[in-house]
Structure 1
């Protein structure tokens, strides 16, 4: 299963339990004990910056993300964008920021995975993230398929479980800015007006939610969730 596929999961740095933040390089990572390579660290930072910029464009995302995940993210964006346009209390610029931050966080986690910076303890956290995302996905499907079944408190709690699990994984490895990106994503997804707009009975977004549910079911069928 690919890390790119549950939260975009794909893309592994030395033993995770030997990794530490490097203030001198703006949050880069070095193995503890002074054996790190500055060139390696700078190279990793350059990869993150380049991929982050690349992921900020629609064309870039199409190269980095498989078609099924692209469709899922596109439909999620449509739901967020429609809500932002209809609800005065929701920032109209947030949907694009949320989409970019999902991609950027996934790329950074993928780089940690590809460069072998995630150790056994982190693998346990990844399992927890997958469980949380799967539970959230199943709830979304249920609320779509069963009339009057929407439980905002349950879905919010499920999304908050995802937020906590991702924070637990990235906190030892990434900067505060990445943690802020995570919060921006989940602050929007748990916003009461967003959830009401998408899941209320007779919602104008029913058709788009149906397309998202189709994408989620495909991800579940192939083991990406």
Structure 2
């Protein structure tokens, strides 16, 4: 679920970034230090704010990006996704323990960059069709993830992999004309980890120790579906 979840909200937010007025609320929380264990803060929000700070320095002359921020709902989703990735990587030798942090950072960076493209009106009519394709694929992924969690023994790895690849392709088609090869690599790193067989098995098997966290992600995705965000 983490997998699709991430996609669903990550990429949904990759498509519709936060409202301008939400940014300044957390400006005072920006810090350069590490995310402390047991802290009541949010890793996703911290990364989002630091990434904004760095990116906005490059576009300050246009004023774009000052209003970019990851909202509370997306923050909850990304934080729970990070917990799933981190715990899975610690217990599966086939997973790189450094990747969860990189994946989260890549999600935040891609979200902000696409948001900047939107706010600078650099996305044309053809891009709107691409965004619609991302939304459609994400909704399908989100609903499948909910089913995998709520219905015992319903996990279909082949379907999940196919769905993730559809989402990866849709995102790549959108960003390729506008962003650098490095951004395309970031996108691949995200989907490569989420679609890794060991990660999916550790998250979706019925006796998984990660099931409580997966449940939190499913709760987030259900809220997004109910609110019409997916």
Q: TM-score range by the shorter chain?
A: 0.7 to 0.9
Cα distance change on mapping 1:4 and 1:205 into 2, 3 Å: closer
1:89 CA drift (Å): 1.0
* Structure 1 unaligned blocks of 5 or more: 12-52
* TM-score (normalised: structure 1): 0.76
1:128 paired residue among 110, 118, 133? 133
Q: State whether residues 112 and 118 of structure 1, in contact with CA within 8 Å, keep that contact through their aligned partners in structure 2.
A: yes
* Structure 2 unaligned blocks of 5 or more: 1-8, 19-31, 33-42, 50-67
Q: In structure 1, what is the Cα distance between the partners aligned to 2:75 and 2:140?
A: 21
2:149 paired residue among 144, 150, 157? 144
* Higher RCO, 1 vs 2 (CA within 8 Å, ≥6 residues apart): 2
Count matched residues.
182
Q: CA RMSD in A?
A: 2.3
Cα distance change on mapping 1:219 and 1:168 into 2, 3 Å: same
Q: In structure 2, what is the Cα distance between the partners aligned to 1:140 and 1:95?
A: 20
Cα distance change on mapping 1:143 and 1:110 into 2, 3 Å: same
1:99 CA drift (Å): 0.4
Cross-structure match for 1:115? 120
Deviations 1:106-142 (A, max 9, x none): 1000100000010110000000001111111111100
Q: Which runs of 4+ in 1 moved over 4 A?
A: none
1:67 paired residue among 72, 75, 83? 72
Q: In structure 2, what is the Cα distance between the partners aligned to 1:159 and 1:122?
A: 20
Cross-structure match for 1:211? 216
